[in-house]
Chains A and B, each alone.
Chain A
Amino acid sequence: MYNPFSLEGKTILITGASSGIGRGIAVECSKMGARVVLTGRNEERLNETFLSLTGHNHIQIIADLSNTENLTSLVEQCPQLDGFVSNAGIPKLMIVKYIQKESLEEIININTIAPILLTSALIKKKKLIKGGSIVFISSISGVNISTLGESSYSASKGAIHGFVKGAAIDLASQKIRVNSINPGLIETNILKLAGELFSEEQIKDKLKQYPLKRIGQPEDVAFAAIYLLSDAASWVTGASIVIDGGFTLA
């Protein structure tokens, strides 16, 4: 059957695969025929993702990417890759007057520095094949909009937005494409954590601002990742795709 979006025969590394968007991307990529290399910090939850994959020969590697040794060891264990999805990240609400250095460093380390260093190491060790595809899961926050208490998170994601453009230029000579996806509100554990801070009413109010009147699902993001990882996107680099149910229009 004709399918320009097939990932058959491709090997794809996905970080932050133990839950949420990362898990959704891993499962959907495996359904499209990819062999996936999963990485995450939580062994039990990473294994849950592993068990929900379609197909064979998938790999899981426990790693905390903010730890240099873990990062180096992950790169060493990686097979040749056709694609890399940098998804691992954390949210953090901090209003400007209470920004603490420690918390700021934590969020920038996990959301910005580790993904950039991992990309660099994968390229240096020639783990990505010619014509490979790198996809960053960024956010509408920091690129298109921001919201109360999100200034540090926005800074961490906005930096990735800039990196994607520069890396797309650097890696073009190797025909490696670099793109990003900016999701809006997606139903994940991160959102459940936010539920402890916000009332159900506040979350419902937020949904009213989404023209398509529903919250995003991990699959909504995964399908965009599949496109960017597939040969269908072979002339797409340095681009960012907003997946937000129309939120940034409203």
Chain B
Amino acid sequence: MDLNEFVKHFASQFDETPASEFVPTTVFKNLEEWSSLTALSVIAMVDEELDIRITGADIRNSSSIEDLFSTIQAK
């Protein structure tokens, strides 16, 4: 999966925020809709789509979607 595809998957975890707001540099924690539910959704999405297990710490340590993608790639 490339970065752009990952951004799309990331965006689909949100119900209110328009997909156009999601780019690799988006600081996702600043989004109004960001919550523990969306965090859990992202963890589950990464598990299902990439078969990779990330933790809450991985999410906490990432600022942008790009950061998180790099963390995942390093696993």
B residues near A94, Cβ cutoff 8 Å: 44
B19 contacts the other chain (CB 8 A): no
- Nearest residue, chain B, Cβ from A197: B56
- By the criterion CB–CB under 8 Å, are A202 and B41 in contact? no
Q: Which of A95-133 contact B (CB under 8 A)?
A: 95, 97-98, 100
- By the criterion CB–CB under 8 Å, are B55 and A148 in contact? no
With A98-B47, A199-B57 already in contact, 20 other A-B pairs whose C-beta atoms are closer than 8 Å: A93-B40, A94-B44, A95-B40, A95-B41, A95-B44, A97-B44, A98-B41, A98-B44, A98-B45, A100-B48, A148-B36, A196-B55, A196-B56, A196-B57, A197-B43, A197-B55, A198-B56, A199-B56, A199-B60, A202-B36
- Nearest residue, chain B, Cβ from A93: B40
B residues near A33, Cβ cutoff 8 Å: none
Q: Can you list 16 residue pairs at the A/B interface with Cβ under 8 Å?
A: A93-B40, A94-B44, A95-B41, A95-B44, A97-B41, A98-B48, A100-B48, A148-B36, A148-B40, A149-B40, A196-B55, A196-B56, A199-B56, A199-B57, A199-B60, A202-B36
Interface residues on B, range: 10 to 19
Q: Which of A187-202 contact B (CB under 8 A)?
A: 196-199, 202
- Nearest residue, chain B, Cβ from A99: B44
Q: Which of B21-54 contact A (CB under 8 A)?
A: 36-37, 40-41, 43-45, 47-48
B residues near A95, Cβ cutoff 8 Å: 37, 40-41, 44
A197 to B56, CA, bound (A): 4
Say what secondary structure dominates the interface of chain A: loop
A residues near B55, Cβ cutoff 8 Å: 196-197
A148 to B55, CA, bound (A): 16
Say what secondary structure dominates the interface of chain B: helix
A residues near B40, Cβ cutoff 8 Å: 93, 95, 148-149
Chain B nearest CB from A65 CB (Å) reads 25
- Nearest residue, chain B, Cβ from A95: B40
Chain B nearest CB from A206 CB (Å) reads 11
A93 to B36, CA, bound (A): 12
Which of A94, A100, A149, A202 counts the most B-chain CB atoms under 10 A from its CB?
A149
Q: Which of A71-111 contact B (CB under 8 A)?
A: 93-95, 97-98, 100
A residues near B41, Cβ cutoff 8 Å: 95, 97-98
A residues near B36, Cβ cutoff 8 Å: 148, 202
Chain A nearest CB from B74 CB (Å) reads 17
B residues near A202, Cβ cutoff 8 Å: 36
Chain B nearest CB from A202 CB (Å) reads 7
B55-70 interface bits toward A, Cβ cutoff 8 Å, 1 = contact, 0 = none: 1110010000000000
A93 to B40, CA, bound (A): 8
- Nearest residue, chain A, Cβ from B43: A197
A41 to B45, CA, bound (A): 30
A131 to B47, CA, bound (A): 48
A148 to B43, CA, bound (A): 13
